[in-house]
């Protein structure tokens, strides 16, 4: 007679693996914490900052140093960029990056004091559709 693997252990093992999978899906900020900044380059635009996935980073000329003025509806189109202070910075001085507290209480990364943003219409690495919009949104030049 063969010994059967107790159903109890099957549920424990399945629960262990499914919990890990669910946590990785439910907690996307874990991946964002390791995300860094790198320099990209595009013909006609030159060098600019991007996140580790290659998504372009922008500055808003109406921001003040160490303070974001892009709030509420503006932040829907221009989501704030944030990385953990320990994230990898490629090709730039890590001391040029700081964190600020936005009016809504969330953290945002700043480069040389200027808050950094994504543009909602940039979907793929190297997209730069936000550059020059309204003469107030610009790619961040290292």
Alpha carbons within 13 A on the beta-carbon side of 71: 12
Domain, as residue range, for 110? 35-139
Considering the domain boundaries, does residue 19 fall inside one? no
Look at the chain and report how many structural domains it folds into.
1
pLDDT tens string 2-56: 556 565 554 455 454 444 443 334 444 444 445 699 999 999 999 999 999 999 9
Q: Calculate the alpha carbon distances from 30 to 23, 46, 84 in Å.
A: 9, 31, 10
Considering the domain boundaries, does residue 29 fall inside one? no
Query: In this predicted structure, what is the pLDDT of residue 86?
Result: 81
Q: Which phi-psi region, left, alpha or beta, contains residue 56 (left: φ > 0; alpha: ψ -120 to 50)?
A: beta
For the ranges 12-26, 57-71, 80-94, 116-130, the lowest mean pLDDT is seen at 12-26
**Residues constituting the chain:** 142
pTM above 0.85, yes or no: no
Whether the per-residue pLDDT at 78 is higher than 70: the answer is yes
């Amino acid at each position: 007679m063969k010994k059967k693997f107790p159903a109890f252990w099957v549920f424990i093992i399945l629960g262990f693996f499914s919990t890990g999978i669910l946590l990785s899906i439910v907690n996307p900020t874990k991946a964002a914490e390791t995300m860094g900044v790198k320099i990209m380059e595009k013909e006609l635009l030159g060098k600019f900052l991007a996140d580790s996935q290659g998504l372009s980073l922008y500055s808003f000329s109406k921001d003040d140093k160490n303070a974001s003025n892009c709030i509420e509806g503006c932040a829907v189109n221009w989501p704030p960029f944030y990385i953990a202070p320990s994230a990898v910075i490629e090709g730039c001085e890590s001391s040029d990056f700081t964190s600020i507290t936005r009016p809504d209480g969330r953290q945002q990364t700043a480069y040389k004091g200027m808050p950094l943003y994504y543009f909602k219409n940039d979907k793929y690495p190297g997209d730069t559709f936000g550059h020059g919009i309204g003469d107030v949104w610009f790619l961040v030049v290292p």
